[in-house]
Amino acid sequence: MQIYFHSRLCPYLPRVPILVEGTVYEIQQYYYMLLIMQTAHAKNQNNFIKGHRHNCTIHNCNLYFCIMPPACLWGSSEDVWRKMLSKEIKYKHSKSSLDKHPSLRPKMRAMLLDWLMEVCESYTLHRQTFYLAQDFFDRYMLSQSDVQKDQLQLIGITALFISCKIEEIYPPKITELAFVSDGACLEEEILQMELIMLKALNWDLCPETVLSWMKLYIQIATLYDVTNLLVPQFSQETYIQITQVLDLCILDINSLDFKYGVLAAAAFCHFMSADVVQKVSGLKWEAIETCVNWMAPFVETMMCYESAQLREFGQVPSEDRHNIQTHVDYLCMLVSLKDAQEKQSKSLEPLFPPTPPSSAEKPS
């Protein structure tokens, strides 16, 4: 199966009102539609265009693409945004991923992800490694039903095992991952679960994570030396602050209500102006407003704790320290946040429920 992108067919196709499932992008205005056309062979490309100008069967036609998308000075802006936006459609995630698992609770997911962050820090793994594992885990759970809680740790460590192979130059050995589970997961079980998970995910292992979106936004916003992309073109401290907010948010299953690109833009919005966020993401304010408001308590909670600090990681170069996944007491933060939200919701309730009038006072 090959994928071709054409704009020549656009005059013959109705305009779809949205880009990605309800997300309003600034780049929808004054731009042509980018059509994703799937064909079995490359030679069918021209035949499709010549013979189906007016009666087209389109597999996916809900992707808009900007003639001048947010600038990516190190490469083709069109190629970058086309690829990333198409993945927003392809890779599905949802907060309903645990609905088909009666024995599981959102708190169990939070505890598992918090533990995976701790494992990542112990083995000096990259942030992207963790976020790939989180995506694999959530998409796997969305595809399954009635998973028992005693399988949760095995699924989580297997997701990390897979993501390490993809992202890390020197991934930890399977014996090390089995060891950190304190005997709960055997090497053979991890290998068996790996095959099960890969089949369930249909071998779709290249999502654009929350982190990859955020890194794109922050690079576009602050890039000043396009000739040297190996050196971070932004404040490492600011990067750490934003990623820790995302770390806390991702523990809450409600974060899966939002597209990864929107979630990253909302986090970015709490540290930059809305104009900058719109410029680097192509997202209008109304597209991220709900997510920004939802995220506000998480940001406030993070501010109540000690500010993020860059850490030393042995053999890790100083310019790469910010890319290593760190772990703080996120679970404690999440619990205090939920308690505060619960108290606030109770304070908004009336002290005494309204009393209905007596029968004598009722109108006849």
Place of tokens 């750490």: 240
| Same domain for 268 and 298 | yes
| Same domain for 159 and 256 | no
| Same domain for 196 and 134 | yes
Residue 104 covered by a domain: yes
Residue 281: give its domain's CATH number.
1.10.472.10
Q: What is the pLDDT of residue 62?
A: 34
| Same domain for 133 and 21 | no
| Same domain for 330 and 216 | yes
| Same domain for 325 and 241 | yes
Residue 143 covered by a domain: yes
Question: What separation in angstroms does the CA of 9 have from each of 61, 103, 162, 252?
Answer: 11, 49, 40, 42
- Could you give the CA distance from residue 140 to residue 93 in angstroms, rounded to a whole number? 9
| Same domain for 294 and 322 | yes
Domain total of the chain: 3
Residue 19 covered by a domain: yes
pTM, 2 dp? 0.75
- Could you give the CA distance from residue 62 to residue 58 in angstroms, rounded to a whole number? 10
Ranges under pLDDT 50 in the chain? 1-22, 24-68, 224-226, 228-232
| Same domain for 109 and 60 | no
| Same domain for 326 and 214 | yes
Residue 92 covered by a domain: no
Residue 87 covered by a domain: no
Q: What is the pLDDT of residue 233?
A: 56
Residue 205 covered by a domain: no
Residue 81 covered by a domain: no
Q: What is the pLDDT of residue 1?
A: 39
Q: Which domain holds residue 168?
A: 99-200
pLDDT digits (tens, 9 = 90+) for 128-151: 999 999 999 999 999 999 999 999
Residue 41 covered by a domain: yes
The residue among 200, 231, 252 that closes a domain is: 200
| Same domain for 239 and 260 | yes
